[in-house]
Amino acid sequence: MSRIPLAGRRIWLTGASSGIGRACALEFARRGARVAIGARNTASLESLASEIRSIASGAGGGDSVMVLPLDVRDRRANHDAVAEIVRTWGGLDTAVLNAGVREYVDEDVFDADRIDNAFATNFHGFVYGMEAALPALRQGVKPHLVGVSSAAAFLPLPRGEAYGASKIAVRYLLDSFRLRAESKGLWITSVHPGFVDTGMTSDNDFPMPFLVSSAQAAEAIADGMERRRREIHFPKPLTWTMKASALMPLWLYQFVAPRLIKVPARFQPTPGPS
């Protein structure tokens, strides 16, 4: 498929107040897109909107950003956000469903609340956004649905029971939905970042090989979106290694995997969705 620039596209982006989402909002704006930014932190969204307006003003852009505070775990709020985009901009071309939280599970004190929290945001929040966006996307220009999963979806990792399982669910849903949607003109992309230097990873107590900045992540995502990649994964030295490791016999991987990530003495609470 030929490259489809982001310039002029109407994009809804969730999880936009920090990390990868914030960097993506700025990168999309630099490329000339109009961005509707969603997250719970209204103050952070307003600050981000000011930066986007400055970028758009320098590029001669006009109605460049829309602030849409929401909690993605609220099904109705997702529908209200998309309705506002359609009312204001006349339609929606791309939805980038990015909101997420990290949860680690302690196998000695198994807490189902951690898994519930991961799925509430990372999967159910994604599903609610997808449900809300699809009718508008089908009326949009060269519609594109982008879901941010994780490189953790490529293979099981120690302590990844909650976070990884929720991201695998996102990947499976997108890959399955693509089998029918693509033939009807809706392009589907799944995004699988490795380690990205954000607030979510700042307190990780284990090595994070090939760590990239949020700006590098955003550039990789925007490039992949313009090229209409079905799957975007980065950094490649890490993600290709993980894909190859997934082909190991289970008995061998069972030996190797526990040595990949150090288990901490205590688990700290994880913040809610951005």
Catalytic annotation, residues: 163
Distance CA 21, CA 16 (A): 4
Contact in structure between 153 and 164 (CB atoms under 8 Å): yes
Distance CA 256, CA 152 (A): 16
φ, ψ (nearest 5 deg) of residue 145: -105, 125
Mark 211-245 as b/e (b = at least 16 C-beta within 10 Å). ebebbbbbbbbbbbbbeebebbbbbeebbebbeeb
Q: Length of the chain, please?
A: 274
Tokens 């997108």 sit on residue: 174
159: left (phi over 0), alpha (psi -120 to 50) or beta: left
